[in-house]
Structure 1
Amino acid sequence: MSSDQTLRPLPPAHSAPVVFGAGAAIGVLGGMIGLGGAEFRLPLLIGLFGFAALSAVILNKAMSLVVVLVALPARLAAVPAAEIAARWPVAANLLAGSLLGAWAGASWAVRMRSTTLYRVLAVLMLLMAAALVLTHTTTVTTLDLPPATRIPAGVAAGLGIGVVAAIMGVAGGELLIPTIVLLFGEDIKTAGSLSLLVSLPTMLVAFARYSRDGSFAVLGSNLRFTATMAAGSIAGAALGGLLLGVFPDVVLIPALAVILLVSAVKLARHE
């Protein structure tokens, strides 16, 4: 871990309503497109609440984990358990890469200089913006690959997604869902449930790696902050789910992509 990540001052305290409201706003944004919104929460943790890059990633990972745990029962209720169980090879294929990627991504994050991590996060925000636009404005069609090709492709995709999810502190659903549709031909609803089954162990591995680093102490010293924002994110995601379809994608998706692009620019310029 680099010294410039350990000597940052603690961020200023914020009132619980402000923290809850910020989490709720992020949850609404994510809920309206069927995601958790962690990619929007990360720049908020840095820009509004003043956390250093690695601290923000660790807090974002903790909140993402809570949101996924809450969302998992609802997702499993929406798709029969037997149907998900029958598709365990899909999850296993992706996990073969994502678990390794999560450990590697977290290891790289704790070793990066803070300025480098800000720039890496900026690039990944651009990736998320591109993925958001592509998955909501184009039809994802299944690649007709033979098993001998599809299996290593799934491992490679899982590896990359695990790295990205660990470094950004996100669940990775925005990348997992189109990957499951593209490589394995699942429908969006089933892909969403499978993505959570892949995300959860992947996040736990990254969390375990972060827990070995000194910067993990930021979580213990900000438990109230984390719990309050996570609660806001869950409440906001539920409201956002109710608003799903209220705003047309032709308006919503470009607006969210612009938010990610602006966030990326701010992260790249962050001192």
Structure 2
Amino acid sequence: MRQSLFSRLLVLCLALPALASTPAIEKAKQDLARLRELATIGAVSRARLLQAEDALGDAQDEDTLHRLLYGSVGVEQLSEGQTQELLAAAQRRVERVAKTYGNLTDLVQQGVIPKSHIEDLELQLKDRRLALQLAENRAHIFQDLLNMAKAEELLQSVEPQEESAKPLVESFTGSGVFKDAHLKYVESAFQKQFHRPLPITAQGQSNLHTSFGFDHSGRVDVGVNPDDAEGKWLRSQLQTLRIPYIALRAMIPGQSTGPHIHIGLPSLRLKVPDLSSGNGAGGGLH
């Protein structure tokens, strides 16, 4: 039996890259190894050993944030597994400092230590909570992209709608041409009309489209509802310029997926090997 696109996506999403080793991680590993040796002869306390283990975990989580949140990896290049890895790392970094801050706050309230001793921790906790918020925002954007890709996958088997209902998908062929100059013009016009950038969610090929077997090169997805004011304006502009597009009104059972407008001709099916029979898959889709 031919393996489904969703099965292949699951395999890709579960495959995580090996954790990188940075100078900070290497130092934390060396410190932990040294303390473990001292612990065997009772030269250090269990609490000190736990602190060293936390320091190593924190260095590894910090590296995860540098790679997946602050680095050059775009949200469309992430896998679902990497998104979860990012969220978990950001959450752990908050919890570590929050625990220490809470313990020291109790000592401040008891008058054991001055409040100045926890001011740096207070700033550190604030920064880490901000990083967690950024990670959550990135995960939300990733989920929107994933839902849109699933919506395009769903369109392959969509049955024609009754005339009284709005069609799940509307397409406009126009001249069949979509160029970078067209996109720049539409972006500028959208900015002037709505005073915000055109909400592009995928430009060209992305890991998500590859996972679903779509050739999305030379195409753009815009995160607007085709029936809202922005969506109606965008469709009108595209029709005036005779730029091909597909307006998608799609929902996947059990998931919340946002409608969007696909600019460009329908995506073609990538030529991929059949994982069970060795045959390739082809054909067109929206």
TM-score (norm 1): 0.26
Higher radius of gyration, 1 or 2: 2
- TM-score (structure 2 length as normaliser): 0.25
Higher helix share: 1
